[in-house]
Structure 1
Amino acid sequence: MTGFDQQAADAARARQDSLTKPPGSLGRLEELAVFMAGWQGRAVPRLDHAQAVVFAGNHGIVAQGVNPFPPEVTAQMVQNFRAGGAAINQLCRVAGADLSVVPLDLDHPTRDFTQDAAMDAAEGKAAMRIGAESVDPAADVLLLGEMGIGNSTIAAVQAASVFGGQAQDWVGPGTGAGSAILQNKLRAVDAGLARHRPASVAETLAAFGGREQAAICGAVLRARELRLPVILDGFICTAAAAVLTRDDPAALAHCLIGHESAEPGHRRLISALGMQPVLSLDMRLGEGSGAAVALMVLRGAIACHEGMATFAEAGIG
């Protein structure tokens, strides 16, 4: 795994402290510029090419009544993304990110994890490989998102498996579950935790799924090999990537969490990871939408870092 370039980060911090402003006055924007410098290995980071990828998958757990929508909606939303009609299309256009959508075998959902392992090892590896191959080595930053009916239940069981706790600690309304569906989600997560005791990344992904979660893990690992900074979306995307910390606690060092989702488990997950989201806007859409909004903030941070004059250049002081 590649590491953070401390020399580039130190040079970026020195530049920040020489710009025409009180030191630290841009707050988190300064931290973001230094973060990007360290992972890109250049004192002045760039955002010429932002890549956004949305992975889509279907889940056998929907048989337990955990979602108010049928699994067919996943494929319908994939078509909506491709037609340019979703929120993520608009946000990527404004943020300047190239969007691609990667459906993963939507006609063959994973298995119901309350009855069996969601995937076998080969299926999990195949999905991770697709995720890795989706990453553009020429990108300057990678935005990750997901789509999949039932996958907020997957996120809850993954988070509980990796960080501990019971269903009630992690389960939320997802796409708007009423009380009956919420109870189904709670029962499904507790049943999954009782049935499966995974101890590694591969075992966790196989036990609970899904293919889009495995693809996110593959993309995050490939980005780390490339020393490519990543912006994760909300609860589902973060929970998927967080599975990687089961094998390596520092696996997400090159990642930012784009926003704190309104899904209640996300705040707990962010705390468990010891990370700080870029934004908190009460969003809970998924699709990579929060990551795309965070990219706009990141662009502002780097624009100031690159474009502001130093005190010497401005003849001040």
Structure 2
Amino acid sequence: MMFSIKTIHTKELSKKLRNKIDGKTKPISALGMLESLAYRIGMIQQTDQPTLKKPTILVFAGDHGIAKENQVNPYPQEVTSQMVLNFLNGGAAINVFCKQHDIALQIVDAGVNYKFEKHPDLIHAKINYGTQNYQYAPAMTIIECKKAIQKGAEIVTKIYNDGCNVVGFGEMGIGNTSSATLLMAYITKLPIAECVGAGTGLSKDRITQKQNILTEVFKKHTPQSFIDALATFGGFEIAMITGAILKAAELKMTILIDGFIVTSALLIAHAIHKDVVDYCVFAHTSGEQGHSKMLAFLDQKPLLSLQLRLGEGTGSAVAYPLLVSAVNFLNAMASFEEASITSVQ
């Protein structure tokens, strides 16, 4: 389960990209974050003429043992499987945005407590029918966790071999903001109170209850490694996204990072291999309170801040057109020399 991820930083290409961006018919830095976005995509692809091919969003779904107690989530566990069926029927927000922006969408059953029939848009990768309740035992075994990481890597390899070079990740799993909170606290060393949020819509009293429960869970377990923490607190969908992120970076794909849960998977991936962040574009700041602190921990600025907290990869789908704009201006906008315009440096 080793991943070979190389740094994107090369002085020669960096200088070439900077000169190309600065030489366009505009004042220097006038396109703001689109310029840094174009630069990053160019560095990821190791070219000054990057292209975006077969953009794809993978939505990983999994159930969480703690959700059966209905103590940290306002919706019952069966909503996970119901939403997966909604994805497959084309009725969710992620379906709408992917269709709007011509993004391929595939749903992954990472560990939903439901037996799905075959469907052309569903990838059957179930590790188990949901995790254990980490109030009483680790969410999964180390073997299950490593299997999920490997499966995520395999799924990304498949879409890469089919021609995709830009991928975003979404998730669905009632109770998964609790897992993300615990993983965030483990990696960042921040107290649970600074990591926990409303999830799918808890009241203030229920958030306090969630905070108290997760604080006790965090005290109960003493993970000895990053993988151990992922197995103890994570979900099958989060573990698969971790593996998918690591493999996408190894394959030099541009990775769109969505909100709170996907970023919790990235925190584990980053702990395993620091250079993975170089391949990531951060789509937005989630309305979930811990997300901005995750981004600060990783020292990253998101493209959008729309108070989204739906998950599903919706932030990545909405942000994707900005990647298209960044690549297009880099490749198609005239330079001062080409347009015979005097450049002011």
TM-score range (shorter-chain normalised) is over 0.9
Which residue is 2:134 aligned to? 113
| Distance in structure 2 (CA, Å) of the matches to 1:197 and 1:276 | 32
On the 8 A contact 2:180/2:234 being kept in 1, the answer is no
Q: Hey, what does 2:339 align to over in structure 1?
A: 314
What is aligned with 1:123?
144
Structure 1 stretch 248-257 or stretch 217-226: which is displaced more?
A: 248-257
Q: 2:311 aligns with which of 265, 283, 286?
A: 286
1:45–1:14 distance in 2 versus 1, CA, 3 Å: same
Partner of residue 66, structure 1 = 72
2:275 is matched with which residue?
A: 250
Between the aligned partners of 2:166 and 2:189, the Cα distance in structure 1 is 31
RMSD, aligned α-carbons: 1.4
CA distance in 2, matches of 1:29, 1:9: 16
- What are the equivalent positions in structure 2 for 1:26-105 lying under 5 Å apart? 26-64=31-69, 65-105=71-111
Q: Is the 1:143–1:232 Cα contact (8 Å) retained in structure 2? A: yes
Q: Which amino acid aligns with 1:3?
A: T
Is 1:182 the counterpart of 2:207? The answer is yes
Contact 1:75 1:106 in 2 (8 A): yes
Q: TM-score, normalised by structure 2?
A: 0.89
Q: Which residue of 1 aligns with 2:191?
A: 166
The separation in 2 between residues aligned to 1:188 and 1:45, in whole angstroms, is 47
Amino acid at match of 2:39: V
Cα distance 1:39–1:115, how it changes in 2: closer, same or farther (>3 A)? Answer: same
| 1:175 maps to amino acid | T
Q: Deviations over 1:26-51 (max 9, x none)?
A: 01100000100011111111113211
Q: Is the 8 A contact 2:226 2:271 kept in 1?
A: yes
Q: TM-score, normalised by structure 1?
A: 0.96
Aligned mates of 2:14, 2:171 — CA distance in 1: 31
**Compared CA separation, residues 9 and 50, structure 1 to 2 (3 A):** farther
Question: For the residues of structure 2 that align with 1:198 and 1:248, how far apart are their CA atoms?
Answer: 18
Match of residue 125 from structure 2 = none
1:207 aligns with one of 232, 239, 251: 232
Task: Kindly indicate whether the alpha-carbon contact (under 8 Å) linking 1:200 and 1:246 is maintained by their aligned counterparts in 2.
Answer: no
Q: Distance in 2 between matches of 1:5 and 1:44?
A: 16
Identify the range of structure 1 (241-250 vs 103-112) with the bigger mean alpha-carbon deviation. 241-250
Higher mean alpha-carbon deviation, 27-36 vs 126-135, is at 126-135
SS in 2 for 1:252: helix
TM superposition shift of 1:310:
1.0
Aligned-partner Cα distance in 1 for 2:205–2:32? 44
Q: Matched residues in 2 for 1:119 and 1:98: separation?
A: 30
Q: How far has the Cα of 1:204 moved from its partner?
A: 1.2
Question: Residue 183 of structure 1: CA displacement?
Answer: 2.7
Contact 1:54–1:146 (CA<8 Å) still a contact in 2?
yes
User: How big is each residue's C-alpha offset from its partner over 1:181-232, in whole Å with a ceiling of 9 and x where there is no partner?
Assistant: 3233112211221012224221111111200000110001111110111011
Question: Which aligned runs of 4 or more in structure 1 are off by greater than 4 angstroms?
Answer: none
Letter in 1 for 2:250: E
Aligned equivalents of 1:201 and 1:46: distance in 2? 34
5+ residue gaps, structure 2, are 114-128
* Alpha carbons 1:261, 1:281 under 8 Å: kept: yes
Offset at 1:116? 0.6
Farther off after superposition, 138-147 or 250-259: 250-259
Measured in 1, the distance between the counterparts of 2:284 and 2:194 equals 20
Q: Which moved further from structure 2: 93-102 or 215-224? A: 93-102
Q: What secondary structure does 1:253 align onto?
A: helix
Partner Cα separation in structure 1 for residue 215 and residue 9 of structure 2: 42
For structure 1, which segment, 85-94 or 238-247, has the greater mean C-alpha deviation from structure 2 after superposition?
238-247
User: Is the partner of 1:190 in helix, strand or coil?
Assistant: helix
Q: Which residue matches 1:156?
A: 181
